[in-house]
Amino acid sequence: MKTSILITALIFVTMSSFAPAAPEIAIIVNKENPVEKLTPGEVKLYWLRKIKKRWPELNKNIKPVDRKTKNPEQDLFYNKVLGMSAADVETYFNAKQYESGEKPQDKFPSDEAIIDFVAEEAGALGFISTSSVTAEAKAKVKIVLIVQ
């Protein structure tokens, strides 16, 4: 009996170690941006351009950056940080654009493309999988928050 319990526990532990890791995202900004840390609430308000349209100390437009297609990192960002569904995010930006001509979020197909864009655009604010945070990426962008 003891042996079978041990075997079952061993199988469970082994299977667990092969289960995909829960996604984790890094919120990134341009290196020039003086912001060092942001809370999830601040990221939400900046990304949705709710409290400010420009970074206060950088004097550049806030440019929210998004993934082009649905993926686990985007789901995590929408659910945990924004508290909104994908359709609600689209509707939100459509409404802002319709009301005042405000530009919606920029969308990119991969983390690499997001890192390159954020590295180029001083006002950009995006999210990438923490698995994409390599030494090369760290040299290009600044991480201001990790969300699990």
Task: Report whether 89 contacts 99 (CB < 8 A).
Answer: no
Among 8, 39, 94, 134, binds another protein (CB under 8 A): 94
DSSP 23: P
Stretches 5-13, 49-57, 68-76, 130-138: which one binds another protein (CB under 8 A)? Answer: 49-57
Among 6, 31, 32, 85, binds another protein (CB under 8 A): 85
CA 118, 123, 128, 130 torsion-angle sign: positive
With b meaning 16 or more CB within 10 Å and e meaning fewer, what string describes 138-148?
A: eeebbbbbebe
Distance CA 129, CA 142 (A): 14
Among 38, 60, 71, 80, binds another protein (CB under 8 A): 60
Q: How far is the CB of 52 from another protein (least distance, A)?
A: 6
Rank residues 20 and 101 by Cβ distance to another protein and give the closer one: 101
Rank residues 92 and 143 by Cβ distance to another protein and give the closer one: 92
Longest alpha-carbon distance in the chain: 70
Task: Report whether 117 contacts 124 (CB < 8 A).
Answer: yes
Q: How far is the CB of 140 from another protein (least distance, A)?
A: 22
Rank residues 93 and 127 by Cβ distance to another protein and give the closer one: 93
Query: Which tokens belong to 109?
Result: 């197909």
Using CB under 8 A, list all residues that contact another protein: 50-54, 60-61, 82-92, 94-95, 97-104
